[in-house]
């Protein structure tokens, strides 16, 4: 009887620990969601005029007004998370939780703004980007430049 009680407690402890392990990634994913929505497209290489105009519209950056500038990162989540492992640098807002890395991007700059017809120019390239990271483990939460 004592052995069965001990096994039951161990099973409960194991399930609790597994449950805690599943909660943390979803919290990190929640923190990452705004950055992903606005700046990450790992499925495309970008760079073309059609890509820039379509993505800005699809991601909701042309609804109420045309967003002046946006960058799409063309890397998978693992590569973006790795940026959070580089040394801290100062963000534009003065905080020290930014990190820098080189990734493939498409920069989109507004060239024409009609009531519901925003047009963008830019190009695809590999360049340094700065990303703010938070949490433990750290996850990317804000594109800083």
Model pLDDT for residues 64-117, shown as the tens digit of each residue: 889 999 999 999 989 999 999 999 999 999 999 999 999 999 999 999 988 678
Around 117, how many Cα atoms within 13 Å sit in the side-chain half-sphere?
2
The predicted structure's pLDDT at residue 19:
45
Catalytic residue among 39, 74, 99, 128: 39
CA-to-CA distance for 143 and 35, rounded, in angstroms?
A: 7
Beta 117-121 vs 69-73: how paired, if at all?
unpaired
Backbone phi, then psi, for 121, in 5-degree steps?
A: -120, 170
The predicted structure's pLDDT at residue 23:
38
Model pLDDT for residues 8-47, shown as the tens digit of each residue: 655 554 445 444 444 344 444 456 677 888 899 998 888 8
> Any catalytic annotation for residue 128?
no
The predicted structure's pLDDT at residue 140:
94
Question: Minimal CA–CA distance to 104: which of 65, 47, 50, 55?
Answer: 47
Reply yes or no: is the peptide bond before residue 137 cis, omega within 30 of 0. yes
Question: What residue segments make up the domains of the chain, in order of their start?
Answer: 2-143
> Any catalytic annotation for residue 99?
no
The predicted structure's pLDDT at residue 27:
44
CA-to-CA distance for 124 and 110, rounded, in angstroms?
A: 15
Structure tokens at 130: 């700065």
The reported pTM is 0.75
Q: Per the CATH hierarchy, to which homologous superfamily does domain 2-143 belong? A: Ribonuclease A-like domain (3.10.130.10)
């Amino acid at each position: 009887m004592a052995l069965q009680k001990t096994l039951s407690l161990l099973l409960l402890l194991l399930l609790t620990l597994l449950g805690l392990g599943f909660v943390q990634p979803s919290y990190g994913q929640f923190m990452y969601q705004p950055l992903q929505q606005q700046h990450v497209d790992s499925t495309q290489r970008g760079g073309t005029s059609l890509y820039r105009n379509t993505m800005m519209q699809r991601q909701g950056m042309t609804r109420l007004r045309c967003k002046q500038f946006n960058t799409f990162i063309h890397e998978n989540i693992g590569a973006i998370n790795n940026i959070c492992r580089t040394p801290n640098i100062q963000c534009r807002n003065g905080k020290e939780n930014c990190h820098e890395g080189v990734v493939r991007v498409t920069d989109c700059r507004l060239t024409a703004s009609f009531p519901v017809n925003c047009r963008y120019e830019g190009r695809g390239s590999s360049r340094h980007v700065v990303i703010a990271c938070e949490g433990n483990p750290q996850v990317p939460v804000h594109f800083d430049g």
